[in-house]
Structure 1
């Protein structure tokens, strides 16, 4: 699978420097990107998806500049879930998920049996098959989010980029999404997700810690240096503790 790389990219949004000379090679497996508000997490993910113009530097997919790859080809290689993703409210759930097949079919292509099978699998994986004939506007926020995750899965791309995918999800479905990202990664998909829930992020294969538009740490969750960086970027308001086989983030109230 071709690598996805950012080479010394910088992005300014209005008067704010969102990314400062960032270099990043997306690893295999599931990578969680974390950091305080305004750290540049979503901007980095959008740049890697080819959705954010960079002011300096370059994003590459394999040996080609991402900006030089036709949009349809990019969409076949990189599936994207936006932070505030939305789709036509009058469409049914199945119709929304079918939109994920557009990069493969083109604007006027007709879906075949293989496309419909991928749609079925995506809905099953995102646990939204039961309401596939309901319209999107009839669903709760959490239900809509599962549909939009399914749409991204239906692309069946080697890269899956998810910006805050747990938005609106209750705890059981947050856990289900973590299991799904792990399964996707185990099957060979490179999964990159921006997460605010640090305990969920600590379950990823790799963590990327950002602050001030820069990457300050990148390692496994059990790496002491990464854990120290997490505590530091969140102003020592958290502690990282062991809980069974996993690491969790807990509030540090300073009086315990």
Structure 2
């Protein structure tokens, strides 16, 4: 349940500053969703949290500076799911579905070691959870976009990390599997995991416990997803082009 703190963090891409001097306190053991306008730096932010981008300032996980954590320890503590298109392109190299999911166990293995019985058990559980166990002997390149995404989620879960970072995790998933993903999020919170997701689907983001709203000038708002102040900030972020209404137990966003 390690909280994540960002202090005066600046991030750049191609010599262009994307986020400048931002401060955030992300609760541990809860689900936080990042929502924002196009080009606001959502993906850049989670990539930095995953240790994939250099940064200025301080990013601490559980009070420990991110860049001081060894690569192996960071890979064990933080599981990362990038956007589906980038990941699929990188992995479309003739690997079986089972081999892709087993990549999630690499942080727990020694160099050139053989997967243990525990590794195989964890991978099978993750694949059954995401309903890709029956696809295990297929080649990743033969799968549909939704099937690939579920394999990548299995790989993510197989890491068994305390912190999970996901950039557009429900991309390509059909409605039943989107519903499954929401249930997995509930399970992660029940297990005390810290989950941070970038989502364009506001109705899904609103089911998180916390929201971070990014605008063109950095952090627009941070707060609980059911807080009226957060709702108003969300409406303002999109220039009043959305309205929020409650449907059953959940809030949904409608365009105007």
Q: Aligned with 1:85: secondary structure?
A: helix
Report the equivalent of 2:43. Answer: 42
- The offset of 1:168, in angstroms, is 1.2
- The offset of 1:5, in angstroms, is 2.0
Q: Aligned with 2:98: secondary structure?
A: helix
Contact 1:221 1:247 in 2 (8 A): no
Report the equivalent of 1:196. Answer: 200
Say which of 232, 236, 240 aligns to 1:236: 240
Deviations 1:220-246 (A, max 9, x none): 222111111111111211101111111
Deviations 1:112-137 (A, max 9, x none): 11111110111122221111111100
Distance in 1 separating the partners of 2:93 and 2:150: 14
Say which of 73, 87, 106 aligns to 1:85: 87
Contact 1:203 1:221 in 2 (8 A): yes
TM-score (norm 1): 0.94
Say which of 225, 228, 232 aligns to 1:224: 228
Report the equivalent of 2:214. Answer: 210
Distance in 2 separating the partners of 1:67 and 1:5: 13
> Which moved further from structure 2: 1-10 or 178-187?
1-10
- The offset of 1:17, in angstroms, is 2.2
Distance in 2 separating the partners of 1:186 and 1:70: 28
Distance in 2 separating the partners of 1:219 and 1:63: 21
Q: How does 1:86-101 map to 2 (within 5 A)?
A: 86=88, 87-101=91-105
- The offset of 1:25, in angstroms, is 2.2
Distance in 1 separating the partners of 2:60 and 2:143: 38
Q: Which runs of 5+ in 1 are unaligned?
A: none
The verdict on how the C-alpha distance between 1:16 and 1:235 changes in structure 2, with shifts beyond 3 A counting, is farther
Q: CA RMSD in A?
A: 1.4
Distance in 1 separating the partners of 2:131 and 2:25: 31
Distance in 1 separating the partners of 2:46 and 2:150: 20
Q: How does 1:122-141 map to 2 (within 5 A)?
A: 122-141=126-145
Contact 2:2 2:194 in 1 (8 A): no
Q: Which runs of 5+ in 2 are unaligned?
A: none
Q: Aligned with 1:242: secondary structure?
A: strand
TM-score (norm 2): 0.94
Deviations 1:58-79 (A, max 9, x none): 1112232211211111000000
- The offset of 1:15, in angstroms, is 4.9
> Which moved further from structure 2: 20-29 or 156-165?
20-29
Contact 1:126 1:146 in 2 (8 A): yes
- The offset of 1:206, in angstroms, is 1.1
Contact 1:205 1:221 in 2 (8 A): yes
Distance in 1 separating the partners of 2:20 and 2:228: 25
Distance in 2 separating the partners of 1:100 and 1:82: 14
> Which moved further from structure 2: 195-204 or 105-114?
105-114
- The offset of 1:33, in angstroms, is 0.6
